[in-house]
A and B are shown apart, each in its own frame.
Chain A
């Protein structure tokens, strides 16, 4: 069974640009969550999608947005990039995001802002 797939693995952008990251969950998983990992702030929850609806949202500015498609694949978009957005962005999926179903993580997308 394939794991969580994130593309691209590495990305370099400049300030002011926007970026879209993609996440394909494990087959059958309907909950997809996104996290930002930085050396200073650690792992922080961005948002969670379930059945194409945002179910939970972390404390990030509106420049960070996401969506989920009918096949459960998810995309995350960051607009007007800032230097502080440089981070590893991790996607995680689970069957339904509730109960005793743990999340499974992808290897992440490393975003560097110049």
Chain B
């Protein structure tokens, strides 16, 4: 069965420091991978997506992610974190049955930013 694992429940980084959020997936075929961010009381905003091609994808707000098939990973990175990046981040996999409408999400990683 398809699944997504985000090993870190909560991460705290200092403002200006680099960030890496981990995501591992289990999927029987070429996955469609996504990272979403959720601020308190709000819905999910798409940061970036991977469908095929270049394994390093750029997203909004200075985020990037690298797809590594051999490690079944799709880690999210940012070189310098801003206080406004504090939020919860979700990795998701889709594409089962050819549809993007039934995403499977990880449990999320909550990011806190120290001044």
Residues of A within 8 A of B (CB): 4, 31-33, 35, 42-45, 48, 50, 55-56, 58, 90, 92, 94, 97-108
Interface membership of chain B positions 20-55, coded 1 if the CB is closer than 8 angstroms to chain A and 0 otherwise: 000000000000101010000111111001010000
Given A31-B101, A43-B103, A108-B42; 19 other pairs, CB 8 A cutoff: A4-B43, A32-B101, A33-B101, A35-B105, A42-B106, A42-B107, A43-B90, A44-B105, A45-B102, A45-B104, A97-B99, A97-B101, A99-B100, A100-B32, A100-B51, A102-B34, A103-B101, A106-B43, A107-B42
* Docked CA distance A95–B13 (Å): 37
* Docked CA distance A77–B46 (Å): 26
When distances are taken between beta carbons in the complex, the residues of chain A under 8 Å from B97 are 56
In the complex, which of the residues B92, B98, B103 contacts A98, with contact meaning CB atoms closer than 8 Å? B98
> Known contacts A33-B101, A103-B103: does B46 contact A90 (CB below 8 Å)?
no
Residues of B within 8 A of A (CB): 32, 34, 36, 41-46, 49, 51, 90, 92, 97-108
When distances are taken between beta carbons in the complex, the residues of chain A under 8 Å from B99 are 31, 48, 55-56, 97-98
| Least Cβ–Cβ distance between A109 and chain B, in angstroms | 10
* Docked CA distance A94–B99 (Å): 11
DSSP majority for the A interface?
strand
**Chain A CB within 10 Å — which of B41, B45, B101, B105 has the most?**
B101
Q: Is there an interface contact between A108 and B43, defined as CB atoms closer than 8 Å?
A: yes
* Docked CA distance A97–B106 (Å): 20
> Could you pull out 17 A-B pairs where Cβ atoms are within 8 angstroms?
A31-B99, A31-B100, A32-B101, A33-B101, A42-B107, A43-B92, A43-B105, A44-B105, A45-B104, A55-B99, A90-B43, A97-B100, A103-B101, A104-B46, A105-B44, A106-B43, A107-B43
